[in-house]
Amino acid sequence: MITIRREAPSDREAVRLIHELAFGRQDEAEIVDALHESNVALLSLVALYADLPVGHIMFSQVRVGEESCIVEGMGLGPMAVLPEYQRKGIGSALVESGLNILKDDSCPFVVVLGHPKYYPRFGFEPASNRGIKSQWKGIPNDVFMIRVLDEDRMKDVHGVARYRDEFS
């Protein structure tokens, strides 16, 4: 059975390995480490199978808007599931748990740069539908997505979504 809980300091090594094996490179593991080291407000969850971490998702601060109207929400990612545990619903459970926690915490939105066939099932839509674009040039509209959690606070918000510097 899979359980989801907040990441603990003792999970750090396992989390790093999950990203390295799932992505086949170091980049995402390094972003995760850099975010931890910055001591910023994060939501970091692990999925456990038989008490072992097999999946991980991280959410970190993203700001959207122009000078007079900047709203803070979260960016989803990196997320990874160990290759042999993929396609069993673990990634979905991590996304849904994260969105539920953030909604309860009054987070107004979550953005993600990801596969356009995967994230719409969780209510994500192209951010361009709401006049919100990625800080990175050349990103196709359908891969930069937003899930609005508080429509009232996002009503007149548009402009560039900026992730933390650890993503640069």
Q: Which residue is nearest to ligand COA (CB)?
A: 91
Query: Which residue number, 34 or 153, has a Cβ lying nearer to ligand COA?
Result: 34
Interaction site with ligand COA (CB under 6 A)? 22-23, 77-81, 86-92, 114-115, 117-118
CB closer to ligand COA out of 6 and 121: 121
Instruction: Output 93 or 132, the one with its CB closest to ligand COA.
Output: 93
Q: Which is nearer to ligand COA, 116 or 159 (CB)?
A: 116
> Which residue in the block uniquely carries the two structure tokens 């992505």?
23
Minimum CB separation of residue 5 from ligand COA in Å reads 17
Q: Which is nearer to ligand COA, 114 or 159 (CB)?
A: 114
How far apart are CB 151 and ligand COA at their closest, in Å?
26
Residue in this structure with the two tokens 């396609």, named with its chain if needed = 87
DSSP assignment string, 10-67: GGHHHHHHHHHHHHSSSHHHHHHHHHHHHT--EEEEEEEETTEEEEEEEEEEEEEEET
The answer to whether residues 114 and 89 touch, using CB atoms and an 8 Å cutoff, is no
Q: Cβ(96)–Cβ(122) under 8 Å?
A: yes
What is the rounded distance in angstroms from the CA atom of residue 105 to the CA atom of residue 103?
A: 5
Q: Is the bond preceding residue 78 a cis peptide, omega within 30 degrees?
A: yes
- Sequence-distant (≥ 6) Cβ neighbours of residue 2 within 8 angstroms: 47, 48, 49, 54, 88, 89, 90, 93
